[in-house]
């Protein structure tokens, strides 16, 4: 990471050409750059119409915003230039600004990294922002907005408060234990508050799965013997114009996935190689990947066709049997459809929508959704369990509670952040 005394500049809006393009600056040289481009400084936080000049040449005219530190997204002096979204305007401005002393182009996620380093956002809020930018469905947006707005942070603040109170009680007993005027026993209310906290952590741990399904999407594997009609079903759904988000070729040769938006929930349908014993090495690899997808899926659709010899379904749950090619002959299964005739598709999609709704949980958006959340919550809960089972008021009891606090602080990014940061910010786009 280059030193962050540099002032950074980037195009923060999307692909060019566009109606308006937003160029963002952050760092100590922002003010002289604005003065040199626009002749003077506009009133802080007031969009102001200005012509931007390089020497005597007017590059473009647009609205500019000047946001001096510390009341800005990054906490530094920042500015946003709303210019016409022309490739030539943006290129000449970026080139000219980046060449000024103390200036350089921003790296991916660098504005947000500075916001984090300056205490404007904690790590969970940074993650919420990343999720919000990438949100494709309504439930993803809702979940991300709550996390960005500090929903998890304030939950954690409440938990840490409880831990601090209990630790203060224990420390008081340790300090005065020689004097005999403070009883060695912890008040029942303190123990009860830690037990209650443990219950709340358990509920949060339980909700990570729901949060993950909203954030990453529900994975539905289309499985069955070769020729059962898996690819035809996927194609029919992809072409049906029903709720398609994206149809990306899979990263592996034999797996293709289509993303659907079912009632605001992201659902991936995953097509794969047919399952059967095979002599061919390439096909065996396809089967191995199919088995891995089945193991990873949140739901398996097991396809049975009237013209294909049946196989034993895999021993995974949940699994629905789907009879295909119903135009040829009826087949006993939980769902029946014909990709060719288009019948039964909407019933299957409706059932998938209900399944996704249950899996993602109705009600308030989950505050937790990541592996990092799960690890931190589990570590905190394990420390509370040690506290509860020890039942003591000594240094060990205080240490268990301190460990629980540390696990929660790690989640906020207050300690041990470096390795998390590099991964997280690299996933952001330039200009964010």
Ligand X SMILES: Nc1nc2c(ncn2[C@@H]2O[C@H](COP(=O)(O)OP(=O)(O)O)[C@@H](O)[C@H]2O)c(=O)[nH]1
Give the binding site for ligand X (CB under 6 A): 226-232, 274, 324-325, 327-328, 338-340
Which one, 93 or 233, has the nearer CB to Mg ion? Answer: 233
Q: How far is the CB of 220 from Mg ion (least distance, A)?
A: 16
Residue 339: which of Mg ion, ligand X, none does it interact with, CB under 5 to 8 A by kind? ligand X
Residues 59, 65, 70, 72: what is their CA dihedral angle, to the nearest 10 degrees?
-100
By C-alpha distance, which of 3, 18, 181 is closest to 84? 18
Pick the closer one to ligand X by CB: 47 or 282.
282
Query: Based on CB atoms, which residue is closest to ligand X, 334 or 422?
Result: 334
- How near is the Cβ of 312 to Mg ion at its closest, in Å? 19
How many other CB atoms are there within 10 angstroms of residue 18's CB atom?
A: 14
Residue 135 binding result from ligand X, Mg ion, none, given CB thresholds of 5 to 8 Å by partner type: none
Tokens of 309: 């010899």
Q: Is 257 helix (H, G, I), strand (E, B) or coil?
A: strand
CB nearer to ligand X: pick between 228 and 255 = 228
Can you name the residues that pair with 22 across neighbouring β-strands? 82
**CB-wise, 273 or 412, nearer to ligand X?**
273
Least distance in Å: CB of 414 to ligand X? 50
Least gap, CB of 313 to ligand X (angstroms): 14
**CA proximity to 381, closest of 195, 209, 210, 189:** 195
User: Taking the CA atoms of the chain, what radius of gyration do you get in angstroms?
Assistant: 28
- For residue 247, the cross-strand partners are 258
Binding residues vs Mg ion (CB under 5 A) = 230-231
Please report how close the Cβ of residue 327 comes to ligand X at its closest, in angstroms. Answer: 5
CB 378 to ligand X: min, Å: 40
Buried b (16+ CB within 10 A) or exposed e, 227-243: bbbbbbbbebbbeeeeb
HSE-up of residue 344 (Cα within 13 Å, Cβ side): 18
CB of 165 to Mg ion, least distance (A): 60
Q: According to DSSP H, which parts of 99-185 are helical?
A: 110-117, 123-134, 138-148, 151-175
Residue 260's SS3 state is strand
Helix axes 138-148, 188-216, angle to 10 degrees: 140
DSSP 65-106: EEE-TTSSSSSS-EEEEEEEE-HHHHHHHHHHHHTSTTEEEP
Closest distance to ligand X from the beta carbon of 324 (Å): 6
Find, among 67, 28, 74, 70, the residue nearest to 45 by Cα.
67
Residue with Cβ nearer Mg ion (211 or 224): 224
75 binds, among Mg ion, ligand X, none (CB under 5 to 8 A by kind): none
**Contacted entry of Mg ion, ligand X, none for residue 327, CB cut-off 5 to 8 Å set by kind:** ligand X
Instruction: Name which of Mg ion, ligand X, none residue 381 binds, using a CB cut-off of 5 to 8 Å depending on partner kind.
Output: none
Query: 147 or 230: whose CB is closer to ligand X?
Result: 230
Q: Which does 226 bind (CB under 5 to 8 A by kind): ligand X, Mg ion, none?
A: ligand X
Identity of the residue, 168 or 282, whose beta carbon is nearer to ligand X in the bound complex:
282
Q: Residue 6 binds what, of Mg ion, ligand X, none (CB under 5 to 8 Å, by partner type)?
A: none
């Amino acid at each position: 990471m280059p030193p962050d005394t540099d002032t950074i500049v980037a195009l923060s809006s999307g692909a060019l050409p566009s109606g308006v393009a937003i160029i963002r600056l952050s760092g100590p040289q922002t003010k002289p750059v604005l003065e040199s481009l626009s002749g003077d400084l506009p009133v802080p936080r007031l969009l102001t119409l200005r012509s931007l000049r390089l020497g005597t040449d007017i590059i473009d005219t647009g609205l500019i915003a000047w946001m001096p530190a510390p009341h800005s997204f990054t906490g530094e002096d920042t500015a946003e230039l709303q210019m016409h979204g022309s490739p030539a305007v943006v290129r000449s401005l970026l080139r000219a600004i980046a060449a000024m002393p103390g200036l350089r182009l921003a790296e991916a996620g660098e504005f947000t990294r500075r916001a984090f380093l300056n205490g404007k956002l904690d790590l969970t809020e940074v993650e919420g922002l990343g999720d919000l930018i990438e949100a494709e469905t309504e439930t993803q947006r809702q979940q991300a907005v709550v996390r960005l707005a500090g929903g998890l942070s304030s939950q954690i603040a409440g938990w840490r408060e409880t831990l601090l109170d209990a630790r203060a009680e224990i420390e008081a007993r340790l300090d005065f234990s020689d004097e005999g005027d403070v009883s060695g026993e912890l008040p029942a209310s303190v123990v009860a508050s830690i037990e209650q906290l443990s219950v709340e952590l358990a509920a949060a741990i339980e909700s990570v799965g729901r949060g993950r399904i909203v954030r990453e999407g529900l994975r539905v594997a289309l499985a069955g013997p070769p020729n059962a009609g898996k690819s035809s079903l996927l194609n029919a759904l992809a072409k049906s114009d029903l709720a398609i988000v994206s149809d990306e070729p899979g990263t592996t040769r034999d797996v293709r996935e289509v993303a659907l938006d079912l009632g605001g929930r992201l659902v991936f349908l995953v097509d794969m190689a047919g399952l059967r014993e095979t002599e061919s090495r390439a096909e065996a690899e396809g089967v191995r990947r199919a088995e891995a997808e089945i193991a990873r899926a949140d739901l398996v659709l097991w396809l049975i066709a009237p013209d294909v010899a049946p196989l034993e379904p895999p021993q995974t749950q949940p699994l629905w049997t789907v009879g295909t090619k119903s135009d040829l002959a009826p087949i006993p299964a939980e769902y029946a459809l014909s990709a060719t005739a288009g019948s039964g598709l909407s019933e299957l999609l409706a059932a998938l929508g209900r399944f996704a709704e249950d899996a993602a949980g109705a009600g308030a958006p989950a505050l937790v959704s990541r592996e990092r959340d799960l690890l931190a919550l589990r570590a905190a809960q394990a420390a509370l369990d040690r506290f509860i089972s020890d039942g003591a008021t000594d240094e060990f009891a205080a240490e268990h509670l301190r460990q629980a606090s540390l696990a929660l602080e790690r989640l906020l990014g207050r300690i041990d952040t470096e390795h998390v940061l590099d991964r997280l910010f690299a996933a952001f786009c330039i200009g964010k």
